């Protein structure tokens, strides 16, 4: 009985979270353009999706920025984490405050402060500025996922490697990196998803000329969202589901688990 209540409650909460997604996916198969009326099953929005220049361009911007920003943030953040970890108490505290600051700042303030920076220094807003902004808000997350792994690491391995004649760069690549790689990968994935989903910061740091999916959806939301966007999100949902299943399969395989 108690188990039933628990499961029922969880099912209700999940239903609440999934209702709009189900609606969205159903709409993508609706033959008509209307949001509320069902006018028959059709795949026309899927075929139109690939013809829609604006959406395809936005998809490209979103994905390329997510990939580049995630990689750049991972490199920058991993190096920073190694550096911060090796620092003495006081500089370390300063660095951590600086890392925590952008994470506690509301998105809208981050976005606006960067918009001011770019406008103030007369850098035209567009693809590059959006990329810079994404790297900026991603990096602290990478640092925070790498640092715990560094703390778990044996302090003396690195020094031992140096004593045995390894150069610092060699020791970095062959001793430290393998130890912290799970944290690095977590950071990379986190950065990628954050950048994929960001709306507020992109909204303030780009021009109307360069749109990612979020800003495109925002501008479309006013006129009534087009079913093609529903089709796109249904596809993305499917892709994520598949990806997740693969990851789960890998994770449940004990030989490959972290």
Residue 32 touching another protein (CB under 8 A): no
Residue 107 touching another protein (CB under 8 A): yes
- Whole-angstrom CA distances from 171 to 91, 156, 166 are 24, 12, 6
According to CB under 8 A, which one of 31, 59, 128, 153 is a site residue for another protein?
128
Per CB under 8 A, which of residues 188..217 are in contact with another protein? 190, 193, 196-197, 199-200, 204, 207-209, 213-214, 217
Interface region with another protein, contact rule CB under 8 A, candidates 41-49, 63-71, 177-185, 222-230: 222-230
Residue 123 touching another protein (CB under 8 A): yes
DSSP string, 76-135: HHHHHHHHHHHS-HHHHHHHHHHHHHHHHS-HHHHHHHHHHHHHHTTPPPSHHHHHHHHH
User: What radius of gyration do the chain's Cα atoms show?
Assistant: 23
Residue 171 touching another protein (CB under 8 A): yes
According to CB under 8 A, which one of 55, 135, 180, 188 is a site residue for another protein?
135
Residues 176 and 183: their CA atoms lie apart, in Å, by 12
Per CB under 8 A, which of residues 41..60 are in contact with another protein? none
Residues 134 and 143: their CA atoms lie apart, in Å, by 15
The smaller minimum CB distance to another protein, of residues 43 and 108, is found at 108
Interface region with another protein, contact rule CB under 8 A, candidates 44-52, 63-71, 92-100, 177-185: 92-100
Minimal distance in Å, beta carbon 48 to another protein? Answer: 13
According to CB under 8 A, which one of 55, 58, 143, 175 is a site residue for another protein?
143
Tell me which residue of 112, 116, 110, 169 sits closest to 135, measured CA to CA: 110
The smaller minimum CB distance to another protein, of residues 43 and 86, is found at 86
According to CB under 8 A, which one of 24, 31, 67, 185 is a site residue for another protein?
24
Interface region with another protein, contact rule CB under 8 A, candidates 43-51, 63-71, 177-185, 230-238: 230-238
Minimal distance in Å, beta carbon 213 to another protein? Answer: 6
Residue 180 touching another protein (CB under 8 A): no
245 Cβ contact partners less than 8 Å away, ≥ 6 residues apart: none
Residue 28 touching another protein (CB under 8 A): no
Minimal distance in Å, beta carbon 179 to another protein? Answer: 14
């Amino acid at each position: 009985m108690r188990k039933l209540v628990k499961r029922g409650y969880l099912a209700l909460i999940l239903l609440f979270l999934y209702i709009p997604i189900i609606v969205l996916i159903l709409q993508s198969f609706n033959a008509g353009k209307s949001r509320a009326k069902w006018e028959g099953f059709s795949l026309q929005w899927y075929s139109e999706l690939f013809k829609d220049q604006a959406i395809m361009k936005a998809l490209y911007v979103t994905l390329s920025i997510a990939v580049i920003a995630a990689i750049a943030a991972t490199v920058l953040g991993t190096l920073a984490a190694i550096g911060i970890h090796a620092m003495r108490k006081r500089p370390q505290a300063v660095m951590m405050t600086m890392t925590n600051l952008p994470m506690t700042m509301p998105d809208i303030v981050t976005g606006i402060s960067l918009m001011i920076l770019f406008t103030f220094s007369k850098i035209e807003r567009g693809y590059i500025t959006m990329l810079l902004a994404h790297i900026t808000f991603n990096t602290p997350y990478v640092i925070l996922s790498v640092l715990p792994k560094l703390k778990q690491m044996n302090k003396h391995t690195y020094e031992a490697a140096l004593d045995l004649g390894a150069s610092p760069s060699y020791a970095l690549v062959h001793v430290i990196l393998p130890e912290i790689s799970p944290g690095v990968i977590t950071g990379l994935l986190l950065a990628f998803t954050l950048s994929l989903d960001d709306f507020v910061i992109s909204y303030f740091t780009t021009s109307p000329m360069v749109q990612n999916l979020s800003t495109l959806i925002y501008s479309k939301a006013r006129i009534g969202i087009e079913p093609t966007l529903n089709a796109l999100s249904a596809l993305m949902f499917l892709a994520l589901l598949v990806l997740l299943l693969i990851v789960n399969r890998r994770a449940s395989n004990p030989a490959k688990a972290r």
